[in-house]
Amino acid sequence: MEEIFRRAQKAFNAWSSLPPEERTAASILQALDFDFFELLDSVTIARSRKHIQTFYDTTDIGQFPERLKPLSFHCPITEREDVLDLNTIFRQLSLLKLAVYAPISYILPSRLRKYEELYDTEVEGGKGKLRQADRERSLQALMTTNLLKRLESSVFAFRKTLGVLHANIQRTLDNIEAFESSALRQKSMMIWRN
């Protein structure tokens, strides 16, 4: 035990001499060895409210305070009349297709099997299949929720995220247009040569 604490003290001393930006909880946890944590785990007792009430005499310290039910407050975004409420904004966000996150839905039905073989995953034991189309639909729903969470964080963050999303969609549309123009030029050149 003395050796474990000696090594822990040495690690702590080295950690405390680090510059403030490097002196993080993660760096001290990394510096301490496994034996130290195993020792702490074996001597530490987690005492919950129920554990204390069951196994300890609380007459000297008194009873725990009564737990009150949590209160839920539903506050509007603003007092302004011209601003939509969160539910309306969520409904509007839910209307977005966010197709850029679901490219498999644009694959021709005749070619779809090839991509299903590439990207669909068998669940262990053959109990089912994780389909790429389902993953992409989940990603679309997750991105919609992410947009709402950004709005809850700040209007600036929401606008910035919408800007990034818009740029991503525009870039994808530009790539599609460039590809179609290139394919059309190649087709024209082949017709002209023949």
Statement to judge: residues 91 and 134 lie in one domain: yes
Q: Which residue among 34, 55, 76 closes a domain?
A: 55
Query: What distance in Å separates the CA atoms of residue 115 and residue 132, rounded to the nearest whole number?
Result: 9
Statement to judge: residues 44 and 140 lie in one domain: no
Statement to judge: residues 98 and 184 lie in one domain: yes
Whether 61 maps to a domain, the answer reads no
DSSP code of 101? Answer: G
User: What pLDDT shows up at residue 190?
Assistant: 78
Statement to judge: residues 158 and 107 lie in one domain: yes
Question: Coil, strand, or helix at residue 28?
Answer: helix
More confident residue, 192 or 167: 167
User: What pLDDT shows up at residue 167?
Assistant: 94
Q: Tell me the average pLDDT across 134-138.
A: 91
This model's pTM is above 0.75: no
- pLDDT band for 178, please (50, 70, 90 cuts): very high
- pLDDT band for 108, please (50, 70, 90 cuts): very high
Q: Which residue among 14, 38, 55 closes a domain?
A: 55
Q: What is the dihedral of CA 139, 140, 144, 147, to 10 degrees?
A: 60
Count other Cβ atoms within 10 Å, centred on residue 101. 20
User: What pLDDT shows up at residue 113?
Assistant: 92
Statement to judge: residues 44 and 137 lie in one domain: no
| pLDDT of 192 over the 90 cut | no
Domain span holding position 48 = 2-55
172 neighbors 157 (Cβ within 8 angstroms): no
Statement to judge: residues 100 and 173 lie in one domain: yes
Statement to judge: residues 43 and 109 lie in one domain: no
Whether 73 maps to a domain, the answer reads no
More confident residue, 57 or 160: 160
pLDDT tens track for 38-82: 888 777 766 788 878 888 888 888 888 888 999 998 888 788 889
Domain count, the chain: 2
pLDDT tens track for 10-50: 998 998 898 988 888 888 888 888 888 888 877 776 678 88
| pLDDT of 194 over the 70 cut | no
User: What pLDDT shows up at residue 23?
Assistant: 87
| pLDDT of 87 over the 90 cut | no
Whether 65 maps to a domain, the answer reads no
Whether 119 maps to a domain, the answer reads yes
Strand ranges (DSSP E) for the chain? 121-122, 129-130
